[in-house]
C-alpha cells in the first residue's frame, strides 16, 4: 500500500496542489509521457496490485480521457486520489488512482482498473456528471473529527465483509451506492429500476 504520509506534508501541497497533481497525472497518462511528471527519484508504481515500471501497463494502451472525474484529497497525508473515466480501443476504463505526494513530487502511484466493454454485464449509468453530494461542502456545525470520520467509514467495508450492514453503519436516509459506475443500492438511489435493494 502507498497510503503512508505525514502531517508535515500538508504545508507542502494544499488542495489545489493535490488536485493539480491528478490533472498532471491524467494528462501525462493519456499522452504516454510519464517523464512529464514531477516524480520522486524512487517512485513506486502499481497497477492492479502488480509493481511495474512507470510507463508500462495501461500507460501504453490508453487513448483518451472521458468526462468523469471524482477527486478525493487528503492534505494532511499528502494523498490525492481520483476515479477517472478513460478509454482504450474498444473499452472504457474505470481508473482508480492514488498519488502520494512528498516534497512537491509524486512518490507513489497505486492504480486499479475496471475495463468495461460492450459485452460487460454492467454498463455505467452514473458517469455523465459528478455524483450527487460528493462535492458539496459540509456545514460547519455538521463536520466530524477525522477520527470519527475514519471510524464511520470503516463500518462500510465491515458490512460488505460480513454480508450485511450492522446497526452501527450510519446510513443517511438518502444514501446510495455506486459500484463500477452503476447505481446499485440505497434508499437515495436516483435510478430505482437499476438498484437491487435498499
pLDDT digits (tens, 9 = 90+) for 33-45: 999 999 999 999 9
**Residue bearing the bigger pLDDT, 42 or 11:** 42
DSSP labels for 53-88? -TT-GGGGT--EEEEEEEEEEETTTTEEEEEEEEEE
| All domains in the chain, ordered by first residue | 7-116 (3.10.450.50), 140-194 (no CATH)
Summary mean pLDDT of the chain: 86
**Closest residue by Cα to residue 82 from 149, 128, 26, 29:** 26
Residue 106 DSSP class: E
Q: Provide the pLDDT for residue 9.
A: 44
pLDDT above 80: residue 3: no
> Would you state the pLDDT for residue 146?
87
Indicate whether 5 pLDDT > 60: no
Which pLDDT value is given to residue 64?
97
Q: Give residue 6's pLDDT.
A: 47
**Per the structure block, which three cell numbers stand in for 39?**
516524480
- In the chain, the N- to C-terminal Cα span, in Å, equals 32
Amino acid at each position: 500500500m502507498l497510503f503512508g504520509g505525514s502531517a508535515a506534508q500538508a504545508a507542502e501541497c494544499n488542495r489545489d496542489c493535490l488536485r493539480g497533481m491528478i490533472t498532471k497525472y491524467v494528462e501525462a497518462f493519456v499522452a504516454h509521457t510519464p517523464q512529464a511528471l514531477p516524480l520522486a527519484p524512487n517512485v513506486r508504481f502499481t497497477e492492479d496490485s502488480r509493481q511495474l515500471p512507470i510507463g508500462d501497463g495501461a500507460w501504453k494502451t490508453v487513448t483518451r480521457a472521458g468526462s468523469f472525474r471524482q477527486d478525493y484529497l487528503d492534505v494532511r497525508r499528502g494523498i490525492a486520489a481520483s476515479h477517472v473515466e478513460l478509454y482504450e480501443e474498444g473499452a472504457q476504463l474505470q481508473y482508480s488512482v492514488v498519488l502520494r505526494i512528498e516534497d512537491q513530487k509524486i512518490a507513489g502511484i497505486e492504480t486499479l482498473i475496471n475495463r468495461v466493454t460492450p459485452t460487460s454485464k454492467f454498463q455505467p449509468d452514473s458517469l455523465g456528471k459528478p455524483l450527487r453530494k460528493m462535492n458539496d461542502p459540509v456545514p460547519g456545525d455538521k463536520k466530524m473529527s477525522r477520527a470519527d470520520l475514519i471510524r464511520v467509514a470503516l463500518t462500510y467495508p465491515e458490512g460488505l465483509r460480513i454480508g450485511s450492514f450492522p446497526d452501527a453503519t450510519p446510513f443517511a436516509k438518502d444514501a446510495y451506492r455506486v459500484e463500477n459506475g452503476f447505481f446499485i443500492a440505497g434508499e437515495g438511489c436516483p435510478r430505482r429500476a437499476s438498484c437491487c435493494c435498499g
